[in-house]
Chains A and B, each alone.
Chain A
């Protein structure tokens, strides 16, 4: 699988993503600089990594979505290419309109950095096909602006179309207010577009995918992508 990792000014999870894809999973991996508008048609996967692109000024992702590279990413996505946005990458995908809804400040008004559990809501996507439906993954979050919002009508639309891929839950997979760390509507932690080739999630799978650590739950997402290329 040929992977591209976009580097924005302020990205800080780009090297983690590179390490997992290139060194741990042995995939051909390239850097993509935010100022370069390039042809991405030879790539299988583009990753928008976490971080604080453009200092999160105005709103997280609001400025980065106008980077030249995003024109390439949008074209790539429109042609069916797979795009994975993690944390700040998810915020950029929402700001660019590739995914519906918005991310707001956590309802606790605090930056949250901890391990959380998410339940896999659909394994019928390129990003989750190696996961079992309703299985529970332990993946860390680290964000201040991660409370997902969409109006109730659009939320049920996402549910009907199987676009919600992950919900915050407890260790058993039960969903409640106390297992929802940031106040996201419907406990949504990750979702995809209707065509199921663009996915964004707040938790960081690249931070739990190296076998040097005890938890490698994040690998299932990368393995899902690798298995079909």
Chain B
């Protein structure tokens, strides 16, 4: 089982990197770009757990370590690797 995890800043938290890339894209002529958010992508490989169990464990991993929930939110997908 593989957990594909995205961690991004919460709505309303300033993302200076995203803002800079947003301006750079506009400067390159991509005027349709309205906003850019930069976050982290993590792949966590899991050993022999059920999907229900993985769902609970990965959520806990995100809350305890992988995301700082004061400023970041997370979402993840579980993918079978068998």
**Cβ-closest chain A residue relative to B65:** A62
**Cβ-closest chain B residue relative to A66:** B65
Given A102-B71, A104-B71, A109-B20, answer yes or no on A149-B13 (Cβ-Cβ < 8 Å).
Answer: yes
| Interface check B70, CB cutoff 8 A | yes
Residues of chain A at interface, number, CB under 8 A: 20
Establish whether residues B70 and A149, one from each chain, have CB atoms under 8 Å apart when the complex forms.
yes
Q: From A63, A101, A105, A183, give the contact of B70 (CB < 8 A).
A: A101
Residues of A within 8 Å of B26, CB to CB, are none
Q: How far is the CB of A52 from chain B (nearest CB, A)?
A: 17
Q: How far is the CB of B72 from chain A (nearest CB, A)?
A: 9
What are 17 A-B pairs at a CB distance below 8 A?
Answer: A58-B66, A59-B68, A62-B65, A62-B68, A63-B65, A66-B65, A95-B68, A100-B70, A104-B71, A107-B14, A107-B16, A109-B16, A109-B20, A147-B14, A149-B13, A149-B70, A183-B14
Q: A-contacting residues of B (Cβ < 8 Å)?
A: 13-14, 16-17, 20, 65-66, 68, 70-71
